[in-house]
Amino acid sequence: MMPGPNSTSAKYTMAAGPVSIHDRVRQAYARQLLYHYDPAFHALFDDTTMKLQQVFQTSGDVVIMQGEAVLGLEAASACMVRPGDKCLNLVSGVFGAGYARHFRYYSGQDPVEVKVAYNQSIDPSDVRKVLKQEGDIRFISMVHSETPSGTLNPVREICALAQEYEAISIVDAVSSLGGMDVPVDEWGADVCVAGPHKCLGAAPGSALIAVSERAWEAMRVHPSPLRGSYLSLLDWKELWMEQRRFPFTIFVSQINGLNEALTMVLEEGLGPRIKRHSQVARMCRMGAKGMNLGLWPASEEIMSTCVTAISVPEGIDAHELVDHMRERYGIVITGSLKELEGRLIRIGHMGHMAQRVYVEMALSALELSLLDLGYPVQLEQGVGAARAAI
Amino acid sequence: MMPGPNSTSAKYTMAAGPVSIHDRVRQAYARQLLYHYDPAFHALFDDTTMKLQQVFQTSGDVVIMQGEAVLGLEAASACMVRPGDKCLNLVSGVFGAGYARHFRYYSGQDPVEVKVAYNQSIDPSDVRKVLKQEGDIRFISMVHSETPSGTLNPVREICALAQEYEAISIVDAVSSLGGMDVPVDEWGADVCVAGPHKCLGAAPGSALIAVSERAWEAMRVHPSPLRGSYLSLLDWKELWMEQRRFPFTIFVSQINGLNEALTMVLEEGLGPRIKRHSQVARMCRMGAKGMNLGLWPASEEIMSTCVTAISVPEGIDAHELVDHMRERYGIVITGSLKELEGRLIRIGHMGHMAQRVYVEMALSALELSLLDLGYPVQLEQGVGAARAAI
Amino acid sequence: MMPGPNSTSAKYTMAAGPVSIHDRVRQAYARQLLYHYDPAFHALFDDTTMKLQQVFQTSGDVVIMQGEAVLGLEAASACMVRPGDKCLNLVSGVFGAGYARHFRYYSGQDPVEVKVAYNQSIDPSDVRKVLKQEGDIRFISMVHSETPSGTLNPVREICALAQEYEAISIVDAVSSLGGMDVPVDEWGADVCVAGPHKCLGAAPGSALIAVSERAWEAMRVHPSPLRGSYLSLLDWKELWMEQRRFPFTIFVSQINGLNEALTMVLEEGLGPRIKRHSQVARMCRMGAKGMNLGLWPASEEIMSTCVTAISVPEGIDAHELVDHMRERYGIVITGSLKELEGRLIRIGHMGHMAQRVYVEMALSALELSLLDLGYPVQLEQGVGAARAAI
Amino acid sequence: MMPGPNSTSAKYTMAAGPVSIHDRVRQAYARQLLYHYDPAFHALFDDTTMKLQQVFQTSGDVVIMQGEAVLGLEAASACMVRPGDKCLNLVSGVFGAGYARHFRYYSGQDPVEVKVAYNQSIDPSDVRKVLKQEGDIRFISMVHSETPSGTLNPVREICALAQEYEAISIVDAVSSLGGMDVPVDEWGADVCVAGPHKCLGAAPGSALIAVSERAWEAMRVHPSPLRGSYLSLLDWKELWMEQRRFPFTIFVSQINGLNEALTMVLEEGLGPRIKRHSQVARMCRMGAKGMNLGLWPASEEIMSTCVTAISVPEGIDAHELVDHMRERYGIVITGSLKELEGRLIRIGHMGHMAQRVYVEMALSALELSLLDLGYPVQLEQGVGAARAAI
């Protein structure tokens, strides 16, 4: 019943998240459970929160919601958006596009959108134009690292515009935190949501959220403030932060792993860790180009450093390629989603897997797989180019 | 940063959940992560689902939502209850009382309630009276094992009434599944929600839900069916069950542990496991009585077998007692919640901890702690009475 | 294939060693292997050696031989004893008696012996008498904690006599190091051998040896110094300490666990740890007496604190009792060896298991087992007396 | 204190043993300890023994001595060789040469030797010549896989000669068992010694020994049969096999890991596992040749499949190369020993590490390291050639 990790053939997961994680983090998940009201657990939870603040580079509040990262993104709208609120949704990929549904559900109307092709990133001047034109935009949502496309959006500039136009910003930094610079206070982001299972190097199971004072205020002034719900951020503020009561039972073993992963991030240092992701991403891009594959994003400047999105060459079936790499070479990468399904493959180099050796391993398996499937790649051109990039 | 389990003094968690878990389950949490679309993970997830069906004794659908058990309880209302629906909430304790908020939020009005003292259990004839009288009750919610009170409700009888009066039943079996009989199909329960971190012996982090055809139908006929939300059960039916697409990233390491825990439940056998919980609970009750402590529930027949609720004797402070037991004797038990806070202490004997040796250990620490705090207990009377019960 | 730890019933090992160990140590055994010439492993090995010196309270050399503790004891004779050497063997139990064979094998003749009943300990004045009388004793071997009898010998006094009479002392501190005071330098012990799997709280698999300059000299002046053999201590001195070459492949995972265990010993502090063993041993003795069982050693002053040896009462079969406790109550204790087999049972309270809660658990299971087997013990008298001892 | 496995940079050990091992085996080392006389441990030990017999392909006795593999090799001589016995030592490398010391120590005289250059293997006709000429050779020792040289000796032929000339054969199969064919009964080998930390994929810490009836007989007829010693094989036969008493405390956690490793060997199947080692070795050889490096062994036919021995090219320092690969690329390989030190580097591909992906990783790191150190290798020629070999 554990065909993967127990088999004798090596298997490395370099999908778009989760990816293989470090031993230290894995062993943390095996610790004996504590009761969530055990003072020892409270100490651990507080320590985790404090470390998370450091990684978010914020002196404001951070909340560790007990659900997948998308819970935090939905919660932002559920708690703040009032019926009739005008919202601006920025769309440069599948995840950006998906956020419209929350704005629609909670405001009761379609959001305004700025939309670009899924291999592009949002232009702040377009955002300014819309903000000016609409006048009363109350919320702007944006995706920092649009993982399905392998692209980055200029969050810093857009958050500045949000502040200028007094809109509240909701930032999806799910896949970037821990691998790219996410300076929440500097940006002035209001709600910024990350996941543990991407660049932070832990398992999925938490929604990590930085919340500004403006955002708390927006929740409190909501005509029917959301309390007593799984989607409530206010519960965390009022029960946990103010009264030290958890809204419900906490994922204690998940917190064990998250704490260890954050500890490792801080031990390595944010700067070196961001640089590592950047170098390894560059290496992966060079490798792909070396085997004459096209990168999906329109330009190098907008490429995310957690995942490399590669256009599937003519005549190759993305699913078959991914399956072949996994079954024949033990390396798990992934295709993409929705509109991009079948058009891209993505190699994830996040957290523990953002290392030269793993990228080489993935590129090598990719070369061989392309050859096996009849695509005319010349052996070693990819891996060689990747190495030359170091 | 891990003051609890890493310290040299023994620490056993026998709170109301989570409690200490078995090594096999802990080691499962340490397995290397798989991508949630890895076929090996799909196989594991399917296996987990199938085992969960066996434990729920159902041939119907089961859903493993990615959140604490309360997510499943809220989801039931969020997905099925329409504005204006008349709901019946059965209240025999803190958890039962709490459910009113979901009925209120989603129906837009106060539910009808049948309410008894928090040391009693619901009388089915009262339920019948209300159902008859009201005529158009559409939902009935009930708690099987009301953990804060240590009591059980007659779910079988109430579910039968629900069927007779064509109401949809929502059963909170969070703490009972895996330690008490929860025959979902036999009961005819429509939505039955359990947690992994009580009698199943795993870590918190999943909402385990059995869903009847009637319940799915109620979700589909909702005027605005809930889709694309963390609270949506329909997403699991339509995306995962029908299209094999997960609504979002799955808690892969959590599933590893849950699978192992369910495997152990089935290896032991439901019958022997239920009997074990029952014997150990009896032993714990005898122990409490042996030291002249009063049991909180009004009668033995209505006592839950996952937790023993003991009235705090005159002159003893519940918090001080719990703290003392933990700090001095390394055994973590707990008080109770809300209206019951300060009046009860509870010893959890669930899953792996439902064993003679641990109950003796807890009773022994309780005796000593009472003595230390000045309560006139005679040493060994409690533990002795417990043993005599075997 | 893992009936013990994987079963659902609790099982605690409180035999005479190995006993159940702490999670931190167990997890250390699961670390990925390093090559024994990896500088990281050398650093770990050096750190382990340094910590071992601290626990031995010596500034002299310590060797970590790659075998069970008995390897170190045999090695002492194999390396130092020359044909014709006159040796003095001190016998107060099975282990002491057993050492004669090494003296016999390597000296070619029977050793002189001082022998007392196996529930007594050696009287230093008898040793002095023999040393004086014989004149040319070259080696004296003694057992610090004679585990099969649960007794202690006055090592400090005997080592002083050895120095006075210029004999080389060989001390078996296998079961005492980490739980009792073993100040090698203060004693002036020449070869002192300990095991990781008793009071140190690790798994068996190393022979931990403190070696004095006098002992090294004795090995070097041997007419055919033992080199290139598994029994050679000189190899460790000359190859590892002087040339940083291991004599053969090192038990890398064993060293991981040993390092963690020694780290925990030093974190706790030698003083507190010794006190803990002493208190818990006292508690166990009071418990045994409380149920009217006789302690095997002739007086309390000579009782070891790592194990409590209890005389098996008339009419009870030691094997049956041990088996019953294990099978019915999940607590593993043990009988004794050779001449003592069938006459004693022993409860080990060493390392992690030297805690009140475990001793109570063992006493409770012992009481119940005696009752089950028809011995007239009054429930709770033992456990009660033990508690009163705290 | 754990710079290796806890660091964020990947580290794979592909030395000549130990090498990195599989998760399943590592987790087995973390199991809670059992008492070595716990029936559950006896069952595990028996199961381990039985599985070891299958891997040795023998219906005869196998012994699991509690020490490094060299303990078994020394024990063979210590138990069987009598003063004055004429012994034949076959030398084709460092390990073969080293065995002379045991023959010398226990027989009291220099063994006869057949010796070839260290990149060659023994020619059976030379052995026959000596056997014939000497007439009364009582023991022949040989090394199956001479790891320091990366060569294999024709054990089958030599064992047949031993039988023909009524000599007792002692076979060092330390590094071959579990990766190459070691059919002890078919060969008619008398004492065959293996280690868990090479192709079997476990940690070092056991000497795995198949013993023929002839060998037992030789031990019994020894004028002073070796009993009561760490070097005694007879103790295992007479105490453990005949009386079910262990000679001393067993390495229980080591047995947990060994059992799991043997289980994985049998799950994979001896045939497929041997083939896997062979293919991967071929790939590694092709890789080395692809970068114009010379293989050390004189011909492909005599190359061992557990390790590839590569001549260090002119101008490159072996130590510097090995250090550079480890520090810069996180891959641990090794040089060689004694006479071969500085002349060879060796890549170990044993057990779990005998996989394409790891060999590629090692070759890639080797290529890059050679380049970094100024050796004119053309990038990808090695890895490319290796891949072409698949």
Task: Return the residue in D264, D357, D371 with the most chain A beta carbons within 10 A, the one to mutate for interface testing.
Answer: D357
**Interface check B263 vs C, CB under 8 A:** no
Structural domain includes residue A3: no
Q: Give the separation between CA C347 and CA D123, rounded to whole angstroms.
A: 59
Nearest-CA distance C14 → chain D (Å): 8
What residues of A are in contact with residue D358 (Cβ under 8 Å)? 10
Instruction: Dump the DSSP string for B38-49.
Output: SHHHHHHHHHHH
What residues of B are in contact with residue D27 (Cβ under 8 Å)? 27, 30
Task: Supply the pLDDT for residue D382.
Answer: 86
Residue in A closest to D356 by C-alpha: A329
Structural domain includes residue B7: no
**C173-219 residue pLDDT tens:** 999 999 999 999 999 999 999 999 999 999 999 999 999 999 999 99
Residue in B closest to C365 by C-alpha: B357
Tell whether C191 and C336 lie within a shared domain. no
**Interface check B10 vs C, CB under 8 A:** yes
Tell me which of B266, B293, B323 is where a domain ends: B266
Chain-chain contact of A30 with C31 (C-beta, under 8 angstroms): no
Whole-angstrom distance between the N-terminal and C-terminal Cα of chain A?
Answer: 40
Chain-chain contact of A22 with D8 (C-beta, under 8 angstroms): yes
* Contact assessment for residue B195 and residue B206, using Cβ atoms and an 8 Å cutoff: yes
Q: Give the separation between CA A302 and CA A118, rounded to whole angstroms.
A: 12
**Interface check D202 vs A, CB under 8 A:** no
**D286-324 residue pLDDT tens:** 999 999 999 999 999 999 999 999 999 999 999 999 999
Q: How confident is the model at residue D6 (pLDDT cuts 50, 70, 90)?
A: very low
Chains linked to C by 3 or more Cβ pairs within 8 Å: A, B, D
* Contact assessment for residue A88 and residue A167, using Cβ atoms and an 8 Å cutoff: yes
**C366-376 residue pLDDT tens:** 999 999 999 98
**Interface check A31 vs C, CB under 8 A:** yes
Tell whether B79 and B228 lie within a shared domain. yes
Write the residue in C9, C357, C383 that is nearest to B380 by C-beta: C383
Structural domain includes residue B6: no
Task: Supply the pLDDT for residue D3.
Answer: 33
pLDDT-above-90 percentage for chain B: 90
Nearest-CA distance A19 → chain B (Å): 7
Q: Where does residue D153 rank: exposed (0-12), middle (13-18), buried (19+ CB within 10 A)? A: buried
Residue in D closest to C230 by C-alpha: D71
Q: Which residues pair with D115 in a beta bridge?
A: D91
**B222-258 residue pLDDT tens:** 999 999 999 999 999 999 999 999 999 999 999 999 9
Structural domain includes residue D5: no
ipTM of the prediction: 0.96
Tell whether D223 and D292 lie within a shared domain. no
Closest alpha carbon to D205 in D194, D213, D219, D216: D194
Chain-chain contact of A357 with D330 (C-beta, under 8 angstroms): yes
What residues of A are in contact with residue C32 (Cβ under 8 Å)? 23
Chain-chain contact of B257 with A257 (C-beta, under 8 angstroms): no
Structural domain includes residue C200: yes
Q: How confident is the model at residue C7 (pLDDT cuts 50, 70, 90)?
A: low
What dihedral do alpha carbons A165, A167, A173, A179 form, nearest 10°? 30
Structural domain includes residue D302: yes
Tell me which of B233, B266, B299 is where a domain ends: B266
**A35-61 residue pLDDT tens:** 999 999 999 999 999 999 999 999 999
Chain-chain contact of B37 with A249 (C-beta, under 8 angstroms): no
Structural domain includes residue A25: no
Q: Give the separation between CA D279 and CA D276, rounded to whole angstroms.
A: 5
Q: Strand, coil or helix: what is C110?
A: coil
Tell whether A217 and A72 lie within a shared domain. yes
Write the residue in C10, C355, C361 that is nearest to B9 by C-beta: C355
Chain-chain contact of B27 with D27 (C-beta, under 8 angstroms): yes
Nearest-CA distance C33 → chain D (Å): 6
Task: Supply the pLDDT for residue C5.
Answer: 39
**Interface check D330 vs A, CB under 8 A:** yes
**Interface check B86 vs C, CB under 8 A:** no
D114: its two tokens: 């057949």
Tell whether D180 and D277 lie within a shared domain. no
Task: Supply the pLDDT for residue A379.
Answer: 73
Tell whether C109 and C258 lie within a shared domain. yes
Q: Where does residue B143 rank: exposed (0-12), middle (13-18), buried (19+ CB within 10 A)? A: buried
Q: What's the Rg (C-alpha) of chain C? A: 21
The three-state DSSP-derived secondary structure of D102-165 is HHHHHHCCCCEEEECCCCCCCCHHHHHHHHHHHCCCCEEEEECEECCCCEECCHHHHHHHHHHC
Q: Give the separation between CA A384 and CA A370, rounded to whole angstroms.
A: 16
Instruction: Dump the DSSP string for C365-384.
Output: HHHHHHHHTT--PPTTHHHH
Tell whether C72 and C165 lie within a shared domain. yes
What residues of B are in contact with residue D30 (Cβ under 8 Å)? 27
Instruction: Dump the DSSP string for D68-112.
Output: -HHHHHHHHHHHHPPTT--EEEEESSHHHHHHHHHHHHHHSSPPE
In C121-175, at which residue ranges do the beta strands (DSSP E only) sit? 139-143, 145-146, 151-152, 168-172
Q: Between chain C and chain D, how many beta carbons pairs sit less than 8 Å apart?
A: 198
Task: Return the residue in C7, C200, C380 with the most chain B beta carbons within 10 A, the one to mutate for interface testing.
Answer: C380
Q: Which residues pair with B146 in a beta bridge?
A: B151
Q: Where does residue B292 rank: exposed (0-12), middle (13-18), buried (19+ CB within 10 A)? A: middle
What are the helix (H) ranges across C20-90?
Answer: 23-29, 39-56, 69-80
CATH number for the domain spanning B295: value is 3.90.1150.10
Residue C2 clears pLDDT 50, i.e. is over it:
no
Q: Give the separation between CA D238 and CA D252, rounded to whole angstroms.
A: 21
Q: Residue C289 corresponds to which amino acid?
A: K
Task: Supply the pLDDT for residue A5.
Answer: 39
What residues of B are in contact with residue A5 (Cβ under 8 Å)? 31-32, 34
**C107-165 residue pLDDT tens:** 999 999 999 999 999 999 999 999 999 999 999 999 999 999 999 999 999 999 999 99
Nearest-CA distance A22 → chain D (Å): 8
Residue A199 clears pLDDT 80, i.e. is over it:
yes
Residue in C closest to D17 by C-alpha: C35
Residue in C closest to B354 by C-alpha: C9
What residues of B are in contact with residue A37 (Cβ under 8 Å)? 15, 334
Structural domain includes residue B51: yes
Tell whether B52 and B67 lie within a shared domain. yes
Give the length of chain A.
Answer: 390
What residues of B are in contact with residue C5 (Cβ under 8 Å)? 23
Peptide bond before residue C272 is cis, with ω within 30 degrees of 0: no
**C88-100 residue pLDDT tens:** 999 999 999 999 9
Tell whether A178 and A281 lie within a shared domain. no
Number of domains observed in the structure of chain C = 2
Nearest-CA distance C14 → chain B (Å): 14
Q: What is the pTM of this model?
A: 0.93
* Contact assessment for residue A165 and residue A137, using Cβ atoms and an 8 Å cutoff: yes
CATH number for the domain spanning B255: value is 3.40.640.10
**Interface check D40 vs B, CB under 8 A:** no
Tell whether A134 and A191 lie within a shared domain. yes
Tell me which of A232, A266, A300 is where a domain ends: A266
* Contact assessment for residue B211 and residue B232, using Cβ atoms and an 8 Å cutoff: no
Chain-chain contact of A27 with C32 (C-beta, under 8 angstroms): no
Range of the structural domain that residue C347 is part of: 12-20+270-389
Tell whether C307 and C214 lie within a shared domain. no
What residues of A are in contact with residue D10 (Cβ under 8 Å)? 355, 357-358
Residue in B closest to A100 by C-alpha: B228
**Interface check C30 vs A, CB under 8 A:** yes
Nearest-CA distance D278 → chain A (Å): 15
**Interface check A27 vs C, CB under 8 A:** yes
Residue in A closest to B196 by C-alpha: A251
**Interface check B266 vs C, CB under 8 A:** no
Tell how far CA C325 is from the center of its chain.
Answer: 24
Chain-chain contact of B30 with D31 (C-beta, under 8 angstroms): no
**D261-295 residue pLDDT tens:** 999 999 999 999 999 999 999 999 999 999 999 99
Residue in B closest to A31 by C-alpha: B26
Task: Supply the pLDDT for residue A200.
Answer: 98
Residue C3 clears pLDDT 50, i.e. is over it:
no
Nearest-CA distance B257 → chain D (Å): 15
Closest alpha carbon to C98 in C327, C340, C260: C340
Lowest-pLDDT range of B297-301, D9-13, D164-168? D9-13
Chains linked to B by 3 or more Cβ pairs within 8 Å: A, C, D
**Interface check C10 vs D, CB under 8 A:** no
Tell whether C261 and C274 lie within a shared domain. no
Chain-chain contact of B384 with C380 (C-beta, under 8 angstroms): yes
What residues of D are in contact with residue C250 (Cβ under 8 Å)? 204
Task: Supply the pLDDT for residue A389.
Answer: 82
Residue in C closest to D338 by C-alpha: C245
